Amino acid sequence: MPTIEVSLKDLNKLVEKKFTRKELERALEYVKGEVESFRGDRIRMEIADTNRPDLWSAEGVARELRSRYTKDKGLIRYKMKKSGLRVIIDKNLKNIRPKTVCAVVKGLKIDDEFLFQIIQLQEKICETFGRNRGEVALGIYDYHKISPPIHFRAYKPDEIKFVPLDFDKELNLRQILSQHPKGKEYGHLLADFDKYPVFIDSKNHVLSMPPIINSDYTGKVTKKTRDVFIECSGFDMKFLLPSLNIMVSALADRGGRIETVEVVSREGRMVTPDLKPKRITVDVDRVRRLSGLDLGKDKIRKLLLESRYDVETEGGKFLVSYPAYRQDIMHQVDVIEDIIISYGYNRIEPVIPKISTIGGQTRMNEFSRRVSNIMTGMGSQEVLSYILTNRDNIAKRMDLEVSKLIEIENPISKNWSVFRTWIIPSLIEFIGKNTNREYPQNIFEMGEVVLFDEKAETRSRNPTRLAWAFADSEANFTKAKQSFDFLMRNLGVAYVIEDVEHPSFIPGRVGRVSVKGRKIACIGEIHPKVLENFRIEQPVCAFEINLSDLLGILKK
Amino acid sequence: MRVQELLEALHPLERRVIPFLRDNVELKDLADKSGLERIEVMRALQWLENKNVLRIKSVSKEIINLDKNGEVYLKRGLPERRFLENLDGETSLMDIKERAKLNDDELRVCLGVLKSKYAISILGNRIEPTRKKDGLLKDGFVEEEFLKRLPLEVSKLDQEGKNTYSKLSRRKKIVKKESVKLKYVDLTEFGREVLLKFKKTRIEGLLERLTPKMLKERSWEGKTFRRYDIKINVPEIRGGNRHPYSEFIQNVRETLVRLGFREMEGPIIELEFFNFDALYQPQNHPARDWSATYRIKEPKHGKLPDRRMVRNVKLSHEQGWKTGSRGWRYKWSEKIASQLMPRAHDTAISPRYLAKGVEIPGKYFNLVRCFRPDVIDSTHAVEFNQLGGFVIDKDLSFKHLLGLLKQFVFEITGIGEVKFVPDYFPFTEPSVQISAKYPEFGWVELAGAGVFRPELTEPLGVKEPVIAWGFGIDRLAMMRLDVKDIRNLFSQDLDFLRKSRRVF
């Protein structure tokens, strides 16, 4: 979720309305914004909509508030003229960074806050919308320091040098990647190439090396800058065009005059930015059905204008024009949401749907509840653990070889790096953490385990198991079998117990339990070696049952 | 408690002690007189104190007592007495030392003491008694009198006593000062009444424990049982209990079932297809990043479901399919969709059910564990529960969504004051967040919801509007269970579990 910082004074100036803090908090609902903090005049807010980069600056927020609080409604039509500037894309960029779209904005009066917002918006576009510069790199330059035309071209790492932003000596491209902080941060984006992209003017002044860094000479915007050149480079027009449009619209909202640039490549020539509004059809009927509101056509039109759309009616349909900085509109439902937001969520009378259905838990949870009643009735305390655990706990410390574990590739911590295959280790670990608590400790846990299953579509299954453990000086096999038997009698299940070998238990004191020929449980005294591994100084006996299998048998 | 009842409820130990009670009697005294151990007397006194019969005063005192040599001197007489008794006329030091059986130390002290009392005169190596000798022996030594009176409290010494103590304390191990804690009894008004009544009333033959033998022989007949003090604290016992968090979850499940919701379940290891693609989350979406979701080492890929459905989802992503959408406009990869991952959110379950076919109208929910590589802190865990689901019917709209949420919040939290705020989820449009006003916390965000996008539902074969909703169940649990740190929801402290109250 992008977080942006704005100045209340600046925002009020842009909207031409004085908001108090409280009023502003309400108003921000229109942009899905939530105030994180007020500090003097500074407001930090989170914008929930990760698909609306046009809202990630004071200008974007102000635009939406103006249309709700002032008479300035409907689509904003930005005027443009030609700048005459040409940008030529060299064919050697084909597989490296093949595309760019550019613009010129003139007549800017940049103050501190304006500068802050430009930099913030540029950052949000590149980092959040542009996937950490992977999709979008956006650069802004002092127009008057550039000698047209501009070339966009790939150079070998040692072929060319320039002074990067905030440095005082010339570095070649290789040195920039290894020495400049931004080179270290974003160098991986160029790791696959033997040539790197560069914007360079006709006097061989380097503008920038996208997506890494601007030059200190041209690529620095200050309060003295009046006219700027903007470029957006990457691979995919659906990222590049909206990014450029958002930036120039924001600058134009502050009084800048947008001028077009001619971008020439082998594929042809293109004039950018393209701020022509786009169109989508919205059904009146669909608006009413989705909102549940009985809205008249005029009302819908008014709400559309408040949401910065222009509208033409055509029978039961609206032909809606939306601004070029909106890249999120895929379907008419996106427009309908804006209509409802303009109407006001809290003005809608909530209606509980009159639907009569019969509820129910999963059979497994229903069964688990019965089982837990029996276990607590027996005097056992339920415990809860994570399904994620580590290899040591379920295998090594249990003195067990477990081959097929499902393991996390990118764990946050080794403690939670594999999915448990059985629950007894969780209980033993629990007892190990409670050695200073009163004995006997009679505990159980019900939950899922994760097992490999070649045949399943997810190559795994997660049966529910019940594990029980008893730690006490008197803990022994008899106690375990008594408890197990208590559960089985209460469930009305007959079972057979057979000797089995299991390294976690004392040999000769561990059994495998079958019900109707199906192995569903194991039961026994935990081996002292295991207890030692968990620093437990009391004998422990335990059992574990596959409740999913048991339920399957019971159902038949 | 009335006096009579109290008398009938007296424990045998209390009965042994009561006859000797009076104001300012000391514990040791009571033990001596009653013939009980000090610890037994103490227990009886504590019970009686609880019954308001008496107060136990604990007084710390400095006592002067005999030390090792002092005890010997008390029996055999002080060295200076022995010295004087054995002094007949002029005698040499060696002789007197021998006769009076003194050591060097004692001899030196004797010379000093007796000289200061003018009882001897010293001439070089020889000593001679003065006229005062006989008087002194007859009247006795004040030091001896002092030793006989020990133990004495320091604070109660008179001036002479103080002087004597000061002299003796300079000599070797005759007296010592020790600090002792003494327990005294102070009777209350009520206690005096009890004492009076106790002496007059003879209660004898009270029955203690009722035994099978007594029942069999009917020996209890015509006798009185000793009354018990039923207000007394008893040791705790341990019973079987649900874990408070799992009990809370169970209650939430039951609430949803009561509202007509049917529970869904799904795999922990999930196909990206259901976790993301079927929810119309594009494959390059930041939420699908390595850093936002877990990956598993092996196996990497699972089996994609029904080919036609997969194709519809693919087209929906690429160009909107038949939904009227322009789609996300990128090349959709089957390989990415078939990757396996730990379920990152509960909503992964909904498309499975929608694709399989659900009842219409229908209400569905799930409450399951989810996994994300979040940085762990007091509000983020790598494993957590999510509650969510959907409602489907042919004429559902946004106002029903709001109604449903409001009903949920009321049924689960009991709070009626709610507000709605526009929100964003990649798979719903319109989307909303609901907050409830808690009297103690103020506005708290509880749930997010929205109408599933047509690009999601239509490729799965669903024509009807679907309202999807999800609750931050962990947050609700933390508020209900008064747990400040999300990690403590899965508390591994047995004492905490044993002592926690049940939630309702």
A430 and A513 both lie in a single domain: yes
Q: Are residues A63 and A142 in the same domain?
A: no
CA distance B342 to A416: 13
pLDDT for position B4: 83
Q: Note the pLDDT tens digit of each residue in B453-499.
A: 999 999 999 999 999 999 989 989 998 888 888 888 998 999 999 88
Do B310 and B413 reside in the same domain of the chain? yes
A161 and A245 assigned to the same domain: yes
Q: Is residue A353 part of a domain?
A: no
Closest CA to A344 of B444, B402, B425, B422: B422
User: For residue B208, is pLDDT > 80?
Assistant: yes
Are B339 and B264 in the same domain? Answer: yes
Q: Is there a single domain that holds both residue A300 and residue A265?
A: no
Selected residues 455-494 of chain B with any CB under 8 Å from a CB in chain A = 455, 465, 489-494
* Of B404, B430, B498, Cβ closest to residue A352: B404
* Closest chain B residue to A288, measured at CA: B397
Task: Looking at the structure, tell me whether residues B344 and B404 fall in a common domain.
Answer: yes
Looking at the DSSP assignment, which residues form a beta bridge with residue A498? A512
Q: Under a CB-based contact definition with an 8 Å cutoff, are residues B296 and B368 in contact?
A: no
**A89: helix, strand or coil:** strand
**Which pLDDT tens digit goes with each residue over B386-429?**
999 999 999 999 999 999 999 989 998 899 999 999 999 989 99
**Taking 90 as the threshold, does the pLDDT of residue B375 lie above it?**
no
**Among B296, B400, B421, whose Cβ lies nearest the Cβ of A292?**
B400
CATH of the domain at A166: 3.50.40.10
> pLDDT tens digits for A222-281?
999 999 999 999 999 999 999 999 999 999 999 999 999 999 999 899 999 999 999 999
Question: What's the CA gap between A222 and A415, in Å, rounded?
Answer: 50
Same domain, A305 and A258: no
A381 and A526 inside one domain: yes
User: Domain range spanning residue A220?
Assistant: 80-272
Residues B273 and B131 in one domain: no
For the domain that residue A285 is a member of, what is the CATH number?
A: 3.30.56.10
Instruction: Find out whether B448 and B469 touch, Cβ atoms under 8 Å.
Output: yes
CB-CB contact of A215 with A165 (8 Å): yes
Angle at B287 between CA B281 and CA B291, to 5 degrees: 150
Total structural domains in chain B? 3
B261 vs A30: CB contact, 8 Å cut-off? Answer: no
Please, which residues 30-49 of chain B have a Cβ atom closer than 8 Å to chain A? none
pLDDT of residue B1: 60
Contacts of A448 in chain B (CB under 8 A): 268, 369
| Ranges of residues in chain A whose predicted pLDDT is under 50 | none
Per-residue pLDDT band at B149 (split at 50, 70, 90) = confident
Nearest Cβ partner for A382 among B242, B302, B453: B242
Range list of β-strands (E), B80-202: 91-92, 120-123, 126-129, 152-153, 175-187
How many whole angstroms separate alpha carbon B495 and alpha carbon B500?
8
Q: Which of A317, A346, A375 is the last residue of a domain?
A: A346
Domain residues for the domain of B101 are 66-177
Contacts of A405 by beta carbon, 8 Å cutoff, 6+ apart: A391, A394, A395, A418, A419, A421
Which residue, among A331, A49, A350, A51, has the nearest Cα to B467 in the 3D structure? A350
Q: For residue A74, what is the DSSP state?
A: S
Residue B309 — pLDDT band, cuts 50, 70, 90? very high
What are phi and psi for residue B449, nearest 5 degrees?
Answer: -160, 170
Q: Is the same domain home to B120 and B28?
A: no
Q: Are residues A90 and A235 in the same domain?
A: yes
Token pair of A214, please?
A: 């601007």
Supply the pLDDT for residue B69: 85
Residues A328 and A208 in one domain: no
Residue B244 makes CB contacts below 8 A (sequence gap 6+) with: B481, B497, B500, B501, B502, B503
Tens-place pLDDT, residues B215-251: 999 999 988 888 887 877 888 888 899 999 999 999 9
List, in order, residues 6 or more apart from A378 with CB less than 8 Å away. Answer: A442, A483, A486, A487, B240
Domain assignment present for A397: yes
* pTM metric for this prediction: 0.80
Is A244 found in the same domain as A121? yes
B297 contacts on A by Cβ (under 8 Å): 406-409
Does residue B182 lie in a domain region? no
pLDDT (average), residues B283-310: 90
B112 plus B249 within the same structural domain: no
Q: Are residues A44 and A175 in the same domain?
A: no
Total domain count, chain A = 4
CB proximity list for A142: less than 8 A, separation 6 or greater: A218, A219, A220, A221, A225, A227, A228, A229
Decide if A446 contacts B336 (C-beta within 8 A).
no
Q: Are residues B340 and B450 in the same domain?
A: yes
